[in-house]
Amino acid sequence: MTAYLLNRLITGLATLLVASLVVFAVLEVLPGDPARLMLGMNATPDAVEALREQMGLNQPVPLRYLDWIGGMLSLDLGKSYTYSVPVLDLVKERVAVSLPLAVIALVLSVAIAIPVGAFAAQRRGRAGDTLSMGAAQIGVAVPNFWFALILIYIFAVWLRLVPAGGFPGWSAGVWPALKALILPAIALALPQAAILARVTRSSLVEVLGEDFIRTARAKGLPFDRVLWRHALRNALIPVVTIVGLQFSFLLAGTIIIENVFYLPGLGRLIFQAITQRDLIVVESVVMLLVASVIVVNLLVDLSYAVVDPRLRAR
């Protein structure tokens, strides 16, 4: 188990290193001068030269790479060109929105998907199965921003329970901040839950056909109890895999939802940074996302071992 963990950790670090090389190289091979790119066509040569100096672009390439890596390791991510603030502060502020949003959405998605999946598997081939999986099919097909609009219409415009958009910041108190996040979290969670419910159902149906289910039934346990106590945990491996993939997506892929709800999150930051050619910010955020994906994958690998004792022996 220790060897397995160490192995995963080393693989993760290696991935991070390769990703950093790729991110750095992409910006390196982009046509033109990053400084000119950032300043635009109308900038004076002096201004460009000054920015090149500031960004350290006059130094040799390997040195710049090491500088960049060293900076990230010491949490000095440089300074954003468009916002004129340290990138670290910018990222911190945005993560404070995106991370809670992603976590809430994920918890919601799991909390909806597993009972629905189990419900459908329990009634395999009957009306309940067809109905819930039909609903899930719609959930997969409908884009989340459409859900977002419906939710805004019902809960913000009509019932006036929550704000339609914007984020007051955590300084405004936990409750107002959460209220601002709940609708986007639901909008994000529904399509994810739909996918997850389908995975849960098919995985459960497969497990319910296994021999040990028959053994459990022969013990005298009622079917429902067998499903929850014996089948579910065995069915979790594919579910955990999908949850891991979804978390990475929820952290980074929220550009549309953040725009719909006008939330200052990572998605919007990277979107703006790209349109404004703020390359330092892009570099840093991409690296952060790569790191988070690697960490989540590590957690997924670990949870396999929690779910299945056979993997602990490795």
Binding site for another protein (CB under 8 A): 2-3, 6, 125, 210-212, 214-222, 229-230, 233-234, 307-310, 313
Token couple for 302: 């670990």
**CB 210, min distance to another protein, A:** 6
Amino acid type, 120: A
Strand partners for 79:
86
Smaller CB distance to another protein: residue 6 or 66?
6
What does the alpha-carbon distance between residue 25 and residue 38 come to, in Å, rounded to a whole number?
17
Q: Would you give the end-to-end CA distance of the chain in angstroms? A: 5
**CB 309, min distance to another protein, A:** 5
Q: What is the CA radius of gyration of the chain?
A: 24
Tokens 């200052």 belong to 264
**CB 310, min distance to another protein, A:** 5
Token couple for 309: 């004792």
Smaller CB distance to another protein: residue 31 or 309?
309
Smaller CB distance to another protein: residue 137 or 215?
215
Closest CA to 122 of 60, 207, 46, 195: 207
CB 90 within 8 A of CB 264: no
Strand partners for 24:
none
CB 265 within 8 A of CB 254: yes
Smaller CB distance to another protein: residue 92 or 214?
214
Smaller CB distance to another protein: residue 189 or 235?
235
What does the alpha-carbon distance between residue 311 and residue 157 come to, in Å, rounded to a whole number?
50
**Angle of the 266-275 helix axis to the 87-122 helix axis, nearest 10:** 130
Residue 293 half-sphere exposure toward CB, CA atoms < 13 A: 17
**CB 4, min distance to another protein, A:** 10
Smaller CB distance to another protein: residue 4 or 145?
4
Smaller CB distance to another protein: residue 146 or 212?
212
